[in-house]
Structure 1
């Protein structure tokens, strides 16, 4: 969500000028980065590596940081041509950084620089020194001064040996589950971009990572903005519990204005990369710099040491919208596979009052009724894009709140969180000897969204993802198969759960979605981020 700063809405030039300047800047940065070429076959081998392998091979001298960065810069330019996912390539900066790393003496410990030489891409509202942070608004391209320094999250990654090499697209207002702006246009899906979206709002990150243009990505999430594009593009994305990953140095909600907290989060093609990001981030103890953070290091969890069965909850739908056939099939296959594992129990876990969750969350997203966002667009005369217009003007939750109304919705949020905690507890039993609930569901698996990658301009149902932001529960989006037009046929339904269900069903086209990635999400309770990752690893292995 963009900052509610009225001064940032002032601009003297029109949105077409901002778009032209932004795109010229992007194109020049790509041309400059490609001046340092590397053979295509060499680049392909390097960009297929995961972050752990890159760091290990760079530390061993099998690769140089310059080789790695050059390869990813080249592949990022290719990804841009295919999907329109880049706002800027940081070629000069990245190569200088790589040269410095190559010239540095080896670290005394292999863990001292666990991201040595790893190229990292960053969503454009997260600060890079000297770069614009427009949050998808044309007026802010001119009005917002360049970032004076890197965001804290980028500083920590580079201190661990990473190399920031690319900045990626984000949508107008940041509040879309797709990725389109008047500044840079639409970001397309890496697998079928002409017709389908990459998801949003971190759609640029997802598209770039899926095509091997980055090894590790930094996105953000307030309603599904990392999980939805991760699922649409076939990669991993973790929404951590709020206040675990630092946000200092980004363009988003001002401090204290976070009734639904936005979180910075990792995206990667592998689960190893996701966990490596979190371990590096929390090992740096960022709470000593950003006081709002919770001082909780990343913990190691070995589920093989547990003395009780692992309990996996399955939610087939949210009671309002039935997911499309590829998602329902992927969920059923996962449940069947997990049921066959020793030491694992699968239990039904219907989602609790998803409609109520969306009513609360949507009322807290725009407490000013969207006035600041409308003003930001008016400053340059840019038109609202369809999904922005929809959420600002048609969503029943978007309205100006009086102080009393804001307090009401905040109370509703806390009441819903209490109800959900009780609901989750009752999947287990009260143990008098322990004095607490025991044997509850460890994690829940459910759809990320009611469909896979959406047609451009159609992602209007947020409840599957936004409820976990409202609850502040960690959630991991992960690849769970591929759609098949032969298997995932569209039945002729005659009854629907809701009007949203009917509208969503109309969007399904088995031919269009054939061979597209299908994603699911694994959800844990607050501060169970490590358990979510550990359970995924345990089931996968």
Structure 2
């Protein structure tokens, strides 16, 4: 049979998206024909004051207003539908909106509250955005591949069933990259998703549709996935919160993806939100449903927030280790400044102790995880891309065909890599254990470092097609440590001065150092609308984010530690 041109398939899915956008009422306002680089202020100028007020309200406050009836789910859902539609026009971040089913669900919830005088669940009436490859019954499930453009989900993913029972509304699905293995978001189906703070820069990936949408407040809480940084990269680039839980806590049943990792490096599903309380609300809600009863692969571990995980005897004491650099790629000036400002403020807090963290073989860690991603030599991804005739996106080629660690492995080689992975995890745990200051009589280590504070990436959001260093996020995937990204500050060219005398130590370091001074050229799907100069001024006002990391299954401690830091030093800084 003659193969359909991939361009025709892309046109078909984009036409479907446009039809769903046209169903939003009142119609989405037109955006200016000539857009500025930073488009974050445009929704406020085009939406009603009431819509702006609703969509800029934090998740936890919306949930309270919806549960008490001071806001209806119908009004809130309409507001987020319209803001999501604007976000699509500004950044190309969604694959479809679901106005008909979303508003029907919202009415059902409003009627329930009116009749029973109580909310349906802890997420009553709250609109939630969903990354496309999280299966939604009877809707497309392409995972960024043209070859899968006509695939449909037979059922809702387990995570969606749990959130539905908790009372939420699903109203929009968000863009992801070809192969799902980019720290950016570009596909031949939908084109390139861009950063709302600068449309010539990336929003990150692979949950970059979520990143741009939430960055523009077209959502307050969304679902992403992460196998190498795919939640944390978009969170960092868009100045929002993003959490990678430990594997085995949040269910993955019903997601679509090629067999990357094959279980050797597992993907996780987690939340992105405008607030830290939104992250906590998501985790508490999902785990309260006991998903391990349905999915026996999960650990039967509820969300433990009823008591402090810091210190003992109700005395809150926080020991933070600071990873200034992974000794592979030096962070850019804005990231180093953010680290210094946070550490300086924390060092003045009586109940906080700061120590330095020495990176342990992070270069080897990348070689190991890059090997474990594709045990089949990348054959399935290569076949999927080739079967439709679609071209390879630059970052798909980077992680598969240009990756020197992608090889066909024998069973013996696979087992050896697994042993190396487990040995490295053991060695890293021993390094963490070495941070204990005392040993209790029962043999327990005491006064261990609680969390590691570190960069979320080498710099702020980089130019399109240039996110080629994963080490600051993939490190924690390899170790399976929970990691939480949070906003700290914004770029200030007066303070974030490039070090032109720095001499990079390796090719990756050189590439990322050059990102501070290279010029931005136009890319496919993106019209250059602002200056191509890429000096310090180029990044003015971009979000600068950091990352907090904990040991396996200490997810609650990571969240509690950040809440404590926010309380004591006022994050994010204005």
Contact 1:172 1:388 in 2 (8 A): yes
Contact 2:131 2:176 in 1 (8 A): yes
Q: How far apart, CA to CA, are the structure 2 residues paired with 1:405 and 1:187?
A: 38
Please report the RMSD computed on the Cα atoms of aligned residues, expressed in angstroms.
1.9
Structure 2 residue aligned with 1:161: 167
Unaligned ranges ≥5, structure 2: 30-46, 517-534, 568-574
Contact 2:56 2:217 in 1 (8 A): yes
**Per-residue deviation, 1:309:** 3.2
Q: How far apart, CA to CA, are the structure 1 residues paired with 2:490 and 2:2?
A: 46
Structure 2 residue aligned with 1:24: 15
- Secondary structure at the counterpart of residue 449 of structure 1: coil
Contact 2:259 2:380 in 1 (8 A): no
Matches within 5 A, 1:91-490: 91-105=99-113, 113-142=121-150, 144=151, 146-193=152-199, 195-252=200-257, 257-300=262-305, 301-302=307-308, 303=310, 306-307=314-315, 309-429=317-437, 431-490=439-498
Contact 1:370 1:392 in 2 (8 A): yes
Structure 1 residue aligned with 2:560: 534
Structure 1 residue aligned with 2:25: 34
CA gap of 1:175–1:451, structure 2 versus 1, over 3 A, is: same
Q: How far apart, CA to CA, are the structure 1 residues paired with 2:188 and 2:28?
A: 31
Contact 2:260 2:373 in 1 (8 A): no
**Per-residue deviation, 1:501:** 1.1
Q: How far apart, CA to CA, are the structure 2 residues paired with 1:425 and 1:497?
A: 30
Structure 2 residue aligned with 1:498: 506
Greater shift, 112-121 or 472-481, is seen at: 112-121
- Secondary structure at the counterpart of residue 173 of structure 1: helix
Contact 2:28 2:85 in 1 (8 A): no
Structure 1 residue aligned with 2:77: 69
CA gap of 1:510–1:118, structure 2 versus 1, over 3 A, is: same
Q: Is 1:524 aligned to 2:515, yes or no?
A: no
Could you list the structure 1 runs, at least 4 aligned residues long, displaced by more than 3 angstroms after superposition: 34-39, 105-112, 253-256, 303-309
Q: How far apart, CA to CA, are the structure 2 residues paired with 1:283 and 1:358?
A: 35
Contact 1:224 1:462 in 2 (8 A): yes
Q: Is 1:13 aligned to 2:4, yes or no?
A: yes
**Per-residue deviation, 1:257:** 2.1
* Residue among 41, 45, 51 paired with 1:43: 51
Q: How far apart, CA to CA, are the structure 2 residues paired with 1:353 and 1:392?
A: 23
Contact 2:128 2:219 in 1 (8 A): yes
Contact 2:67 2:119 in 1 (8 A): no
Q: How far apart, CA to CA, are the structure 2 residues paired with 1:187 and 1:207?
A: 8
Q: How far apart, CA to CA, are the structure 1 residues paired with 2:391 and 2:135?
A: 26
- Secondary structure at the counterpart of residue 518 of structure 1: strand
Q: How far apart, CA to CA, are the structure 1 residues paired with 2:480 and 2:117?
A: 36
Contact 2:59 2:274 in 1 (8 A): no
CA gap of 1:426–1:394, structure 2 versus 1, over 3 A, is: same
**Per-residue deviation, 1:11:** 9.4
Q: Give deviations 1:373-414, integer Å, cap 9, x for gaps.
A: 111011110010111111112111111111111111110000
Q: How far apart, CA to CA, are the structure 2 residues paired with 1:126 and 1:49?
A: 26
**Per-residue deviation, 1:220:** 0.1
Count of matched residue positions in the alignment of Structure 1 and Structure 2? 529
Q: How far apart, CA to CA, are the structure 1 residues paired with 2:119 and 2:111?
A: 18
CA gap of 1:117–1:222, structure 2 versus 1, over 3 A, is: same
Q: Give deviations 1:95-116, integer Å, cap 9, x for gaps.
A: 0100100111469796861111
**Per-residue deviation, 1:496:** 2.1
CA gap of 1:31–1:351, structure 2 versus 1, over 3 A, is: same
CA gap of 1:382–1:255, structure 2 versus 1, over 3 A, is: closer
Q: How far apart, CA to CA, are the structure 1 residues paired with 2:176 and 2:416?
A: 32
Contact 1:52 1:115 in 2 (8 A): no
Q: Give deviations 1:423-479, integer Å, cap 9, x for gaps.
A: 000011451503122111000000011111010000000111001001100000000
CA gap of 1:337–1:286, structure 2 versus 1, over 3 A, is: same
Greater shift, 35-44 or 456-465, is seen at: 35-44
- Secondary structure at the counterpart of residue 477 of structure 1: strand
Greater shift, 87-96 or 55-64, is seen at: 55-64
- Secondary structure at the counterpart of residue 452 of structure 2: strand
